[in-house]
Structure 1
Amino acid sequence: MTAAVPEDLRMTPMLKQYAQWKKRYPDCLLFFRMGDFYEMFFEDARVASSVLDITLTARDPGKKIPMAGVPFHSVDSYLERLVASGHKVAICEQVSEPDGRTLVDRQVVRVVTPGTFLPSDSALEGRLACVDVLPDGVAVALLNFATGRLLAGTLGHAPARSELAGFAPSEVLCPSGQEKAAAALAGDRGGCVVTPRSRDDFRLPGAARRICREWGVASLEGFGLSDLDPAAGCAAALLAFVEETQFRSARGAVEIRPLLEKTSMLIDPAAAWNLEVVDPPGSSLLDTLNRCRTAMGRRKMRDWLLHPLIDVDSIAQRQDKVQAMLGSPEARSRLQASLSACGDADRALSRIAFGSAGPRDLGVVRDTLEAAPRLERHLGEMGLEGLLVMPEGLRALGEVLSSALVEEPPRNLHGGGVIRGGFDPTMDGLRDVKNNEKEWLDGYLDRMRGLTGIRNMKIGFNKVFGYYLEVSKSFLKDVPESFTRKQTLVSAERFITEELELFEKRMLTAEGEAMEREEELFRGLCSKVAERSPELRALAETVAAVDVLASFAQAVALFDYQRPEVDYGELFEIRGGRHPMVENSPASGGVFTPNDVLLDGAENRIAIVTGPNMAGKSTYLRMAALLAIMAQAGSFIPVESARMGIVERVFSRIGARDEIARGRSTFMVEMIETADILNNVNSRSLVILDEVGRGTSTYDGMSIAWAVLEYLQGQPDRRPKVLFATHFHELTALSERLPGVKNLSMAVKESGDGIVFLYKVIPAPADRSYGIEVARLAGIPERVLQRSMEILEEFEKRGDRVPPVPPAVVPEGQLALFGEGARELIEELAEVEPDGMTPIQALKFLYFLKDKAAEVLKS
C-alpha cells in the first residue's frame, strides 16, 4: 500500500481529482491519464521512478509535488515490470473530451494485478489461483487469462500442490488468515503474490448462487461442480475478484470446467523440478520437444507434459495422429507453415472479452480464421479429416474481418489506420475529405490569386489561427475587403476568409467524425468476435493441439524417436533408451550411450543402481521417468523399443535445489521429500531415488536408505516400481534378502592411468566406488590422492568406525596433516554433522574453525 495524498496540501482541481481516486484505491499505484501520458504523483511517483527507472520530476516546483509519467502507447511494458515487482496498478482514464474550459472527467476502468495482467505483445500470461485449505483437502480454482479457462475442484493436499506447481500462478487468492498456508501450497515461489479476500466471498451456498445468477443457470452441475462443493466457493471468490478488477462480468470471457483427480498422471512438484519437465527455460523437456509454431501450441504442450494421460485409448489416439503426420512430411511442412500464420488467438480472444483489446488482437483472430481452412486441407492430405472442422459461421466472420481490417493493424486504435478502405462508405467519405485537403487548398489558392492578382500569395496553417492566406506588405493594397486580418508579421499580413473558415471546420469535423466512426466500427467488430467466442475458443484449442502433434512428429524426424507401446500391464521395459535433453546438449557432442530399463510387478520391482559419481546414475534414473512422461503425453520417445504399463504418479528425490537458501538443511529437505513418497506411493507409481541418506553420517544414512527400500518392497497393497541410486554398496545385499530387488551398476573401465566411465548400465552391483579415481579426474593434487589411498587401506584393513590411522610421511619442513597441534581441530570437525546445520549455524562454525586454526598455527 502506497502512502495517501497529504490532506493539508492546497491543490489544483486536477490534483484534487487525483487525490479522490487515490483514496478509493490506496493499495494500488494510480496511473492517471493526462493526454498522451499516464502520470503518477506523491509516493506513487517515487515508487514508479524506482521500479521503472524513470525520471522523477515535480508538478509544482514551489510545492515540490513528486511526479513521474509513462507514455500511454507503450504502457504494457511498464505495467509488466510493476506487476513483476508485486504491485497493483489502477488505470484511471479520461472519459470525456477536453474542451479547454472544464476539468476532464476521469474514471478507473481497470485494476492490473500480477494474476490478471495480460499484455498483447508478451509471453506473460495472467495466471490467477484461488485456494481454500480444508481439514481433509484443498479447494482450488485456477484461471489462465490467456485461455479464459477456469478449472475448479476439491483435491487432496498432494494433488493440490502438484496442480499449483504446474500451473505456476502469478497470484494466489485465499480467505483472510490463510496467507501462510496458501504460500506454502504455491511452493513459496518467488514472484507469486498472495492476496487475502473476505471469507464471505467463499461462503456457501451464497457463493454458488452468485455464479448461477451470473451465468443464468439453475445449478453448477453443468460445470461439473455441486452447489455445496468448497471448490464452488473458490470459483466464486476468484470470479468476484476478476469482476472487481476488470469492471465487467466474467461471463462470456471465462469457461468453467471441473478439476478432477486421477484423470492424468500426477507429477509431484519435486519430480517436475528435478526432472526439468518445463523448467528451467532453455534446457527443459518442453524446450527439447517444442517445435510449435504458435504460442497456443507451446502452452498446450506444457499442459500435456505436466498432465500426461492415464487412459490407454486416448494415448493411442494421439500417437496415431503423430504417426499420420510422420507419413506425410511435405503435407506436415505445409501444415506448419500455415500454423505460423496463426497468432495467439487465445490471448486475443481474452483481451477482446475483457475489453482491453487493440487492433492487433482483431488481426490475430482474422489471421487464425484465414489460416484455418488451409489447416483443414493439409490435415486432410495426411488422412486426418475431421480433426479440424471450420464452422460456416466462423468462415463468414473471417470474411468480415478480412474485408474490414488493414493488412497490418496498428498497436493502438487512437492513431487511426485500422479500417480498410472500401469497407464502410461513411468512413470512406470522411477520409475523402481529409485526403482531398491538398487538392482543395491548391485550387482555392489558385482562385484567390486569380481574383486578387497577388501572384505570391501563400496559404498556410498553424494551431493558433488555423488556415490562413499570407500576403506580403507590398501587395496589401490589392487585398479584398472580404478578407479578415488575423495576424501581422514584419513583412506580411495573414488573413482568413469565410470560405476558408468553413473548409477548416469541415476538415476538423471530418477528422473527429472519422476517429469516432473508426472506433465505432472497431467496437462492432469486437462484438461480432465476442458473439462467436465459444466456437472461436474451440477452434483455438484445436489449432493448439494440432500444433503440438505436428511438433511431436517433427521431433521424431529430428531425433529418431520410436513409438512406445503403452498398456495397463505391469511391465515397464525400455530397450536402448536415451535421455532426451542430455543427448541433445552441446556437452554430449551428439553422442549418448543407450541403456535398458526393466521393471515389473514381480522379480524386477526395485533396482538398486551403484557405481562411481559422474558415471551416469542420475541421468539413468531421470531418463526412465522422462520417457514415461513423454510416452503418456502422446509423444514418441528416444528408444529402440519400449513397452510401458500406465504410470499414475511419478516421484523423484534428487537434489536439494534452493531449499538451503530458505534455512532448511540438505538432509531435512531430503527427508521431507522421502516422507512424501513413502506416504503416497501406490502400485502404479514410478519412484526414482538418488542417494537417499547422503546428507547425514554414513551409518545413519545407510540405515535410513536400507529401511526405505524395505518399506517400498514390503507394502503388499502398494508396491511401486523403484530405481534407487546409492553410494552405499552394503545395500546391494538386499537383492539376496528381499524378493523383487535386483542390482544394477554403471560400468567402468580401469587402466593404468585411472578409470574411464562407459555410461553403460550392467546387471551387477559395483564392487567399489572409485572415489579416489574420481578425485583424480577432478584435479585433486597427487600428494592428497596418495595420502587418501593410505588412509583407505587402513579403513579397509580394520573395518573400524574410527580406526587409528598411521601418520603420513611428511617432507621435511612441511606441517603434518595429523600433527599433534591439529588433532583437536580434526576431532572437532569429525563430530559435526554439516547437513544437519542451517546456513547460519554452518557459518558460525566456520568462524570457530578459523579461530581454532589460527591458534594451532601460532603454537
Structure 2
Amino acid sequence: MRLPVPADEGCAPAPEQPDDCVKGADPPLQRDENLTSTAKPRRRRAKVVHPSSDATEMLSDNPPAGDAPKSRRKRRTAAQLAEESVPDPPSTPLATEVLDNLARYPHCILLTRVGQFYESYFDQAAEVSRLLNIKLTGKSWGGQRILMCGFPLVQLNKYLKILVQQHNRFVAMCEEFPRSPSLGAKGGFDRRVVRIVTPGTLIDEPFLNPYENNYLLSIAAPEPASTTASHEANTSLSSCTRSSAVGLAWIDVSTGEFYTKRTTVGALQDELVRISPREVILDERLSERDPIRRAVSEENYFVSPFAVAERLGEASTTAAAEDLSPDDITSQIEASKEILPTSLSVEESGAVELLTGFMHANLLEHMPSLSAPSRESFTCRMQIDSHTVKALEIREGMREGGATGSLLSVIKRTVTSSGTRLLARWLCSPSTSVTEINARQSLVAFFHARPFLRQDLVQSFRDAEDTTRIVQKFLLGRGTFQDLTAICTTIDSWSSIKERILMERRMDERGGEAVNAAEWKSIGALMERLNDLDSLAGRIRTALVAREATISESEPMSDELPSPVTPMPVRDPRNPLGITEWMIKPEFSEHLTYLHKTLQTLLAEKDLLERRLQGTYDAPSLTLRASPGQGMHVHVSRKRESAQLREDKDFIGLAESGSTCTFFHKGWSQLGTQISDTALAITLAEREAYEILRNEVITHAAELRNNARIIDELDVTLAFANLAIEMRFVRPQVTEGTSYHVVNGRHPTVELGLLTSGRGFTPNTVTFTPDSHLHVITGPNMAGKSTLLRQTALIAILAQTGSFVPADSAEIGIIDRVFSRVGAKDDLFRDRSTFMVEMLEASDILRRATPKSLVIMDEVGRGTTVDDGLAIAFATVHHLLSVNGCKAMFATHFYELAEMLGYDPAQHKGHGPFSKIAFFCTGVDEVEDGYFTYSYRVNPGVNKDSHGLKVAQLAGMPDSAVEVARSALAWLKTRSAERASHEDGLRILGQALASHK
C-alpha cells in the first residue's frame, strides 16, 4: 500500500515496496532491503535519534560495518564518526509535527491524518503494524528512511476498536485542517491533536455497545495528614484502612450521565462490580500496595494513573485556537465545581476534580459542559456485594459469559437501548424507598391491565432513537445530519406516546365509570413532566431534505460532517464538481435559495453547452466531465467523432486510450469551475445551517434529556408488564417491615430454561418472621437447595426493582443488603484455594450484614476436614443469628449441625438460644427397580441422607466403583449406635457454645 503525501509536504514519495514486506509480524524485521531506496546505495547512516528503539536499526541503507569482510573495513577519524552518528531528525513540516506530538504524548499511539489516510511513523509504526496486522513499510523524509504504516480513513473505527477496546491503548488523534485562503494562507494543512481516545472516553464510535453504559470512574483517596510528602519520594497518597472514606465520581461520556458517591475502602469492590466501569482513574501517587489499588486490581479493571496538575500542563500546549496556560485550564476545572451540589463530601469533590481533569486532558476540543452530578445515597439503594452480583448472575451468566443466562437476559423485554441500560442499573441497585417502588409497580399494573395500549406503545418505542447519546454528541461538538433526523423522529414518537396515553384516559372516561385516580397517578405525573418539543421537531423537519438513509458499515457516511473546529469544508478530490445529495432545503435561508438557483442555472448552461458541442462537431458521444486527474475535460467515446475536435484550436488533447479521447476546453473549464465553486458555497452554507440547528438542539438539551429519562422509565415498566403476562408474575406487597413471605416462588432463569425443554418448575414457599429468620436446609445433591437460595434473593431484588415477581403472592419488607456465599471456585492467580475464597466471602458477610439484610450461604465449611468444616458451619450460623440478626438461608450437608443447634423434630425448630432457627429439607422419591426422582419440594425437617451415590450413578461413575462405595457406606452406617450418643454430645456442645461469651 502506498500512502499519499499531502501537497504541502515537499518530501519525495515512498517507493513501492516488495510483496514480502513484514505484515502483522512482531519485530525485529527480517530484511533491511525492504526499507531501502531504489537509488544507488549510499554509505551507512546512523539511525534516527528520536524516537529510538531497536526497530530503527532497519533504517540503514547498507548492512552494518560489522557484517562486512574485515579486509574491506576502513579506519575513520573521530570527527567522521561523530558527524555520522547523530544526524538531524527529518525537518519537513509533517515530520516536525509528528515528532513534537510523539514527545508530547509518549503514553499514546499517535495516528496522524494525511489526506484520506491515518498514518503512524518511526518506531511506533512497527507496534501499530503488529497490533493491527497491517503492512509495515517506509518512506523517505529529508533524505532519511523511516518506518511507517497506515490505513484508509474509512477503516478508522475498525482499527480504533482493536487498539482501544481489545488492547486498552490510548490513541491520540491528530487531525488536519485546511488553511483558509481568507486568512492569507497559501494553502496546505495545519495539524493538531484534537482528542485522545481511551477505553472510558468513547463518544459515538460504532463499536460502543448501545445496551451498556461505558463508565469512566475516578476514585479519590483521602489526603494524607501531612502535606509535606513529595511525589519524588514515592510516598503513598493515603494510608487507607477498610473503614476509610473514599469518593467516587463516574460518568458515561457518551450519554452525559454523571454520578458521585461517598463510600468506604471495604465496600469499594462491591461498588466497582455494580458500576462496572470501562476505565478507572487513580491518583498516580497511590502506591501499588495501597488498599484502593488492590481493590481495583481484584477485578482486573483497566487503570489509568493520573496527576491533574502535570497532565493539564501538557494538555494546555495542544489547545486548539488559542494557547491556554495550566492556570487557565485549572480555572476551568475550578469553575466546574460550581455545578456540584453543596452537599458533596470532600472525598466526592476530590473524585470529581480527578475525573474532570482526566477528561480535560484527553477529550481536549471535545470536552463537554457537564451537568450537575446525581449524588447516590448509601441508604436509598439496596447494596449488593460483588460476589452476589456474580453468583446470582444478575448481569452476566457464569457459564456462557456475557448476558446469556443472566437475570438481565431472561427478564429483558425493553425496546429501546437506553431502556435496557436503565434496566441493568435498576437490577444492580434496587431501590429501598417504598414510595419509589410502589410508583414503579403502579406503572407496571397500569400497563398490565391494558394489552392494546401495550402493543401501541411498543411500536412507538421502536421509532425512538437513543436520544441521550445523540444529544451528548451534539454537546461534544460532533453529530451528523442523520442525528438531526433522529431527534426529529424521536420527538414525533414521544408525541404519539403522549397522545396515545391521553386517548386511553378519554376512553376510560367514556366508559361511564369514574376514573381510578390512584391508577392514573403515576402515569399522569410522568406525562405532566414530558416537555412539548414539537416546535423543535418542526424546525428540523422544515430544514432537512427528507430521504431514506441507507449507509453501509463499510463505507463512510456521505453526510458526516467534520468537527466544528474545521474552518471550512474541503473539496472531495473524488468529486471535483461537488454535486451531491443536499441535506438542507433551499428554502432554509435566502442565501441558500440564491445559491441553489445559481447552481441550477449553471447546470442548465452545462447541458446547453454539451448539446451545442455535440451538434457543432457531430459528436453524439461527447460529454462534459470532471475527474481528479484531468480536471474539467471533454470526453468523446468514439474515436472517429474526435477528428474535428483535434482540428479546432479551442480543444487541447489531454489523453487518448482505445476508442476514447479527452480534451481541454476553456469554456467548459470556466463553467465547471463556477459550478464547483457554487457547490462548495452550498456545502459551506449547509454547514452553517447545520450549526444553527445543532445549537437549537443544544438549547433544548435539558428538555430532551428529561423526556428521554421519562421514556426510558416507561419502557422498563412496560417491559415488566409484558414479562408479568408471559411468565405469570404477580405484584408483591413491599413494606417497611422485616417480613418475607413468598408463596410458591420460582427461580425466573431456571424456570425459563425448563420451559424451553418442555418441563415445569417446582415452586416453593419461603417465610421469614421475627421468630424464625434463619433457615437451615439439608438434603441430597441436585435436589434444589442452591436454586431455592438463589430464587429467594432474586425475588427480593426484583420486588425492590419495581417488577412483579415469580410467585403466587409475595409480601416483602425492605432489604438493605443482599449477600451470598454460593458457587465459589479457586483463584490460583492470587494464590487462593477454593476454601480460602469461601472463607473470605463468609468473613465479609459476617462483618457487614445488618438486621435488614438477606444472606444466602451454601455449604460453608466444605473443602476441609469434617470436624473443621462442621465447626466453621456452626460458628457461622451462630454469628448470623446472635450478632447479625439478619434473614438468612443456610444450606449444608452437615446434618450433625442440626443436633448442635438443638433440633426439635416435633416443631422443626432449634431449642433454647437457637429457637429462631427453622429447619427444612429436600428429598428424593424412590420408585421401583431402584429408580428415583427428585421432588424439589422443601419440607420442614432434616434430611440426613445426601444420596450422593445416586448422583454418582447419574454422572456415569463405573459400576464397580459404585459398588465399592455402597459397601463402604454400609460399614459406616453400622456405627449408628455410636453416632446416637455422639449426637447427644453435639447437642450439649452447641448449648454450651451458645452460652459462651
TM-score by length of 2: 0.74
Partner of 2:359: 242
- Counterparts of 1:107 and 1:306, CA distance in 2: 42
Change (3 A) 1:771 1:496: closer
1:502 aligns with 2:502: no
- Corresponding residue to 2:763 among 568, 590, 594: 594
Residue aligned with 1:574, SS? strand
**Counterpart residue type for residue 110 of structure 1:** R
**Counterpart residue type for residue 90 of structure 1:** A
**Counterpart residue type for residue 456 of structure 2:** R
Residue aligned with 2:280, SS? strand
Residues 438 and 802 in structure 2, CA contact (< 8 A), matched pair in contact too: yes
Partner of 1:56: 136
Change (3 A) 1:337 1:142: same
- Counterparts of 2:959 and 2:739, CA distance in 1: 48
Partner of 1:314: 436
- Counterparts of 1:230 and 1:651, CA distance in 2: 27
- Corresponding residue to 1:26 among 106, 127, 138: 106
- Counterparts of 1:488 and 1:605, CA distance in 2: 93
Partner of 1:294: 416
**Counterpart residue type for residue 235 of structure 1:** V
- Counterparts of 2:306 and 2:977, CA distance in 1: 58
Q: CA deviation at 1:377?
A: 1.9
**Counterpart residue type for residue 240 of structure 1:** G
Q: CA deviation at 1:98?
A: 9.9
Q: CA deviation at 1:270?
A: 0.6
Partner of 1:807: none
- Counterparts of 1:622 and 1:17, CA distance in 2: 59
Partner of 1:141: 249
1:793 aligns with 2:958: no
- Corresponding residue to 1:160 among 265, 268, 275: 268
1:674 aligns with 2:865: no
Residue aligned with 1:32, SS? strand
- Corresponding residue to 1:483 among 650, 654, 657: 650
- Counterparts of 1:746 and 1:433, CA distance in 2: 86
Partner of 1:837: none
Q: CA deviation at 1:77?
A: 3.0
Deviations 1:538-574 (A, max 9, x none): 1111111111011101101110100011101221011
- Counterparts of 1:721 and 1:570, CA distance in 2: 9
- Corresponding residue to 2:887 among 701, 704, 721: 721
Q: CA deviation at 1:679?
A: 0.5
Change (3 A) 1:329 1:44: farther
Residues 731 and 805 in structure 2, CA contact (< 8 A), matched pair in contact too: yes
Residues 151 and 259 in structure 1, CA contact (< 8 A), matched pair in contact too: yes
Deviations 1:224-275 (A, max 9, x none): 315xx12101101101111221114856344412132111110011111100
Aligned CA-pair RMSD: 3.3
- Counterparts of 2:837 and 2:328, CA distance in 1: 39
Residues 454 and 478 in structure 1, CA contact (< 8 A), matched pair in contact too: no
- Counterparts of 2:879 and 2:496, CA distance in 1: 57
Q: CA deviation at 1:779?
A: 1.0
Partner of 1:345: 467
Residues 298 and 548 in structure 1, CA contact (< 8 A), matched pair in contact too: yes
Residues 283 and 307 in structure 2, CA contact (< 8 A), matched pair in contact too: yes
Partner of 1:77: 158
Q: CA deviation at 1:606?
A: 0.6
Partner of 1:767: 944
Deviations 1:795-852 (A, max 9, x none): 33347999xxxxxxxxxxxxxxxxxxxxxxxxxxxxxxxxxxxxxxxxxxxxxxxxxx
Partner of 2:631: 466
Deviations 1:773-800 (A, max 9, x none): 2111111111111111222223333479
- Counterparts of 2:365 and 2:144, CA distance in 1: 39
Deviations 1:339-374 (A, max 9, x none): 111121111122221123233333332222121101
**Counterpart residue type for residue 696 of structure 2:** K
- Counterparts of 1:703 and 1:648, CA distance in 2: 29
Q: CA deviation at 1:129?
A: 0.5
Residues 573 and 642 in structure 1, CA contact (< 8 A), matched pair in contact too: yes
Residues 118 and 153 in structure 2, CA contact (< 8 A), matched pair in contact too: yes
**Counterpart residue type for residue 105 of structure 1:** D
**Counterpart residue type for residue 24 of structure 1:** R
Q: CA deviation at 1:418?
A: 6.3
Partner of 1:784: 961
Partner of 2:51: 5
Q: CA deviation at 1:73?
A: 3.2
Residues 139 and 145 in structure 2, CA contact (< 8 A), matched pair in contact too: yes
Partner of 2:605: 440
- Counterparts of 1:200 and 1:446, CA distance in 2: 68
1:397 aligns with 2:545: no
Show structure 2 runs of 5+ residues with no match.
1-26, 28-48, 53-85, 223-239, 313-326, 398-402, 506-519, 552-556, 563-571, 573-579, 904-909, 980-997
- Counterparts of 1:149 and 1:513, CA distance in 2: 38
Change (3 A) 1:668 1:461: same
Residues 118 and 126 in structure 1, CA contact (< 8 A), matched pair in contact too: no
1:279 aligns with 2:399: no
Residue aligned with 1:628, SS? helix
Partner of 1:86: 168
TM-score by length of 1: 0.85
- Counterparts of 1:747 and 1:583, CA distance in 2: 20
Partner of 1:626: 794
**Counterpart residue type for residue 688 of structure 1:** I
Partner of 1:214: 335
Q: CA deviation at 1:44?
A: 2.8
Change (3 A) 1:244 1:308: same
Q: CA deviation at 1:192?
A: 2.4
Aligned residues: 791
Q: How does 1:76-225 map to 2 (within 5 A)?
A: 76-84=157-165, 85-96=167-178, 103-124=188-209, 125-134=213-222, 135=240, 136-178=244-286, 180=288, 181-186=291-296, 188-190=298-300, 192-198=302-308, 213-215=334-336, 217=338, 220-222=340-342, 224-225=343-344
Residues 91 and 111 in structure 1, CA contact (< 8 A), matched pair in contact too: yes
**Counterpart residue type for residue 650 of structure 2:** F
Residues 653 and 663 in structure 2, CA contact (< 8 A), matched pair in contact too: yes
- Counterparts of 1:326 and 1:623, CA distance in 2: 23
Partner of 2:383: 266
- Counterparts of 2:501 and 2:654, CA distance in 1: 71
Residue aligned with 1:581, SS? helix
Larger displacement relative to structure 2 (341-350 or 49-58):
49-58
Partner of 2:731: 563
The percentage of aligned residue pairs carrying the same residue is 28
Q: How does 1:804-819 map to 2 (within 5 A)?
A: none
Q: CA deviation at 1:589?
A: 3.1
Q: CA deviation at 1:212?
A: 7.8
Q: CA deviation at 1:521?
A: 2.2
- Counterparts of 2:847 and 2:641, CA distance in 1: 102
